[in-house]
Amino acid sequence: MAGPSKSLILDPALQKYYELNANRYKYFRWTPRHAWLSFIYMAVIPGTLGYIAYKTDGKYEFRGKRREDSILEY
């Protein structure tokens, strides 16, 4: 019973993938695609959500409304 069994043999392709994933920062390079995606995720999406939140601030009220009441406050 002691010793390695056949079910514990690790797949070399998975081991290579795990190693690459653990050391991903070593292989990262800034490319135009990476820069564009980073700009989208760090500036455009939060900016758009902030703009929408700012424009609709106080416009909708969900508390104390009945079924036929409008949620618009103005």
For residue 52, the enclosing domain spans 29-73
Residue 12 lies in a domain: no
Residue 57 lies in a domain: yes
Tell me the per-residue pLDDT of 16-54, one tens digit each, with 9 for 90 and over: 999 999 999 998 999 999 999 999 999 999 999 999 999
Alpha carbon 34 to its chain's center: 15
What's this model's pTM, rounded to 2 decimal places?
0.59
Residue 56 lies in a domain: yes
Residue 67 lies in a domain: yes
Residue 1 lies in a domain: no
Residue 46 lies in a domain: yes
Report whether pLDDT(4) > 80.
no
CA-CA distances (angstroms) from residue 43 to 18, 53, 54, 55?
31, 15, 16, 18
Residue 8 lies in a domain: no
Residue 3 lies in a domain: no
Got the DSSP string for the chain? --S--GGGPPPHHHHHHHHHHHTHHHH----HHHHHHHHIIIIIHHHHHHHHHHHTTTTB--TT--TTS-SB--
State the total domains in the chain: 1
